[in-house]
Structures are given as C-alpha cells and as structure tokens.
C-alpha cells in the first residue's frame, strides 16, 4: 500500500512528535502499546516492525499502512498527548499548524487555514474589529442551555457598554469567558485535567474550582486558545478582578468605554478560537 503521508509531511510529524532517536513524545513501551490499543491497533504486530522495533519506526510503518481516517485519528490524539508532555522543547507554530492540517486531511476534514496558532490578532485594533454572532456559541459542545445563557450575557454586556455601565460590562465579559472555558472542560474533562497536571505538576482540582487564569493557561497549552488571544484573556482576567471593591480602590482603577469594549471583544476572540477547534464537536 502506498503511503498516505508524504515524505515532507512525515518530517513535520517527526518534528512535532519528537521522533528523532527512535522515540515518540515521552511514551514508554507499555504506554505506547496502550495508546494504540485505545485505537484498536496492535502496534507490536509484525507488520509494523518491518523497519525496526523502536516506537518511531513502528509509528512510521503504521502511517504507511493504515487507512487515512485511522491515521488522522491517531495523529490528532498524539497531538493531545503532546500538549501534556513535559519533556519536549518548543515547536514552531507553523509546524503545529501544518501537523493539524495533515491530521484533518487524513480524517476527511478540510484544513482550516486559521487555526488558533496562526491567529491574526496583533493589536487592539484587530481585536475591536471582531464581530460577535450568537450562533458562534451554538456551535460549541456546551451543556444544554449554556450557549443561550452566555449569548444573553453578551447582549447584556453590550447594553451595559452603551449605557455607560462599564464595570458591569467587564464583569459580564469575564463571566462569559469563564463559562466557555468550563463548558469546554466539562465536554472533555480527562483532556483538560491531564493538561492541568502537566502544567502545574499536581493533580487537577474539580473543574468548578479552577481559576480563570488556570483555564486560560491550560487551554492555550492544548491549542484551544492562540497565544495572542490568551494574552488578551489574561488582561480581561485582571480587569475582572476589580469586581472586588478593595482591589479597585487599591489600583485606583475605573473602567472606561475603551476598557469595556476591549473586554467584550476579548471574549469574542476567545469564542472564535475555541469554535475553530470544537465547533464540529457533539
């Protein structure tokens, strides 16, 4: 069978998964075997050891022989494992974007040229140009009724801005961002818990106990939020802290129309990022 992964694509896969030296991520042999068993593949089978027995050689052999949908499924799952690995160095955003395109192509999906890593947001002007549409929330895998509730809060935040209730708008924006993060986490709790443990080197607390800062960091680690949107998200978190009168008094902070609009559009940007990753989930 001819390979469904080209030689150039294989180099990208090898770079992202740290396959040089025969390894694949930080998998031990038993963990590698168990990973493939989850996908109903016996990676120790003779047909995958024709080039050698290292994990990297067996993965290359698998990618040459497996049907495209299964190859795409395995590559996507390996990328999630990469997000929680603590032993890999940095990989360029371009390589990660290309890797995702390969996995999506093999899985029968059209590559998305605007993956979160390649977010065009660079400035406040870019941010303020974004447009919120309620249907963006409907596409996300949130619990029943949550998308509608969050859309209502976004509408209320907009009315607060128009009426000059700027602090209220900031607080509402922060609550929507936190609600989206929690909703994504509840959809795939094991995924976010693994990333939390890898990030903080400790067991993850109950999802409802996570702070907004932790959600932003973990979702950026997983690729759900782009680095630029994550940066803006931390700014919103800082603004929202002024819901506490003592914090607002100490900082001598009084949000104005510009701050409120920035906060609103930070949420719009975050919705856009997670929709690119989870918009097709059920």
Of the chain, the percentage scoring pLDDT greater than 70 comes to 89
Name the domain boundary from 113, 146, 178: 113
Query: In the prediction, which pLDDT does 117 show?
Result: 46
- Tell me which residue of 166, 156, 162 sits closest to 260, measured CA to CA: 166
pLDDT in tens, 94-138: 788 889 888 888 876 544 434 444 455 556 778 888 999 998 899
Query: In the prediction, which pLDDT does 219 show?
Result: 94
Note whether residue 82 is domain-resident: yes
In b/e form, how buried is each residue of 71-110, taking b as 16+ CB within 10 angstroms? Answer: bbbbbbebbebbbbeeeeeebebeebbbbbbbbbbbbeee
Name the domain boundary from 113, 141, 176: 113
Shared domain check, 135 and 236: yes
Q: What's the CATH number where 234 sits?
A: 1.20.120
* Cα distances (angstroms) measured from residue 250 to each of 38, 247, 255: 53, 5, 14
- Rounded-to-integer distance, Cα 201 and Cα 247, Å: 30
Spell out, as residue ranges, where the chain has pLDDT lower than 50.
Answer: 1-2, 110-118
Return the ∠ at Cα 242 (arms to 143 and 128), rounded to 5°. Answer: 65
Query: In the prediction, which pLDDT does 7 show?
Result: 82
Q: What is the DSSP letter of 110?
A: P
Query: In the prediction, which pLDDT does 201 show?
Result: 86
Total number of domains in the chain: 2
Note whether residue 119 is domain-resident: no
Residue whose tokens read 């009426």: 163
Shared domain check, 132 and 109: no
What are phi and psi for residue 87, nearest 5 degrees? -110, 5
Query: In the prediction, which pLDDT does 228 show?
Result: 80
Note whether residue 142 is domain-resident: yes
How is residue 122 written in tokens?
């660079």
- Rounded-to-integer distance, Cα 18 and Cα 198, Å: 17
Return the ∠ at Cα 29 (arms to 25 and 31), rounded to 5°. Answer: 70
- Rounded-to-integer distance, Cα 102 and Cα 5, Å: 8
- Rounded-to-integer distance, Cα 46 and Cα 242, Å: 62
Return the ∠ at Cα 175 (arms to 261 and 137), rounded to 5°. Answer: 80
The burial of 188, by beta-carbon neighbours within 10 Å (0-12 exposed, 13-18 middle, 19 or more buried), is given as middle
User: 110: Cβ–Cβ under 8 A, 6 or more apart, which residues?
Assistant: 104
Query: In the prediction, which pLDDT does 106 show?
Result: 81
CA neighbours closer than 13 Å in the CB half-sphere of residue 108: 6
Shared domain check, 142 and 73: no
Note whether residue 224 is domain-resident: yes
Check if the beta carbon of residue 22 is closer than 8 Å to that of residue 55: yes
- Tell me which residue of 131, 138, 66 sits closest to 103, measured CA to CA: 66
- Domain span including residue 130: 124-278
Shared domain check, 142 and 261: yes
Shared domain check, 61 and 153: no
Q: Is 150 left (phi over 0), alpha (psi -120 to 50) or beta?
A: alpha
Overall pTM surpassing 0.75 (yes/no): no
């Amino acid at each position: 069978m001819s390979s469904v992964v080209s030689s150039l694509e294989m180099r990208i896969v090898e770079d992202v998964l740290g396959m040089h030296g025969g390894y694949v991520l930080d998998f031990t042999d038993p963990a590698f075997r168990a990973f493939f068993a989850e996908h109903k593949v016996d990676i120790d089978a003779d047909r995958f050891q024709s080039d050698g027995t290292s994990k990297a050689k067996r993965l290359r052999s698998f990618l040459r022989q497996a049907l495209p949908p299964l190859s795409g499924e395995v590559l996507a799952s390996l990328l999630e494992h990469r997000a929680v690995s603590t032993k890999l160095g940095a990989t360029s955003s371009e390589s990660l974007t290309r890797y995702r395109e390969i996995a999506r192509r093999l899985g029968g999906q059209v590559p998305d040229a605007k993956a979160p890593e390649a977010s065009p947001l660079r400035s406040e002007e870019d941010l303020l140009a974004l447009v919120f549409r309620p249907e963006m929330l409907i596409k996300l895998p949130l619990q029943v009724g949550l998308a509608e509730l969050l859309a209502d809060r976004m509408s209320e935040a907009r009315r607060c801005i128009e009426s000059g209730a700027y602090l209220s708008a900031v607080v509402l924006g922060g609550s929507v961002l936190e609600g989206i993060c929690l909703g994504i986490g509840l959809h795939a709790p094991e995924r976010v818990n693994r990333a939390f443990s890898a990030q903080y080197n400790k067991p993850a607390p109950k999802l409802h106990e996570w702070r907004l800062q932790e959600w932003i960091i973990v979702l950026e680690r997983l690729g759900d939020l782009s680095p630029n949107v994550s940066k803006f998200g931390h700014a919103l978190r800082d603004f929202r802290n002024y819901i506490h009168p003592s914090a607002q008094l100490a900082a001598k902070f009084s949000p104005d129309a510009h701050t409120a609009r920035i906060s609103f559009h930070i949420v719009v940007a975050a919705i856009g990022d997670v929709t690119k990753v989870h918009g097709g989930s059920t």
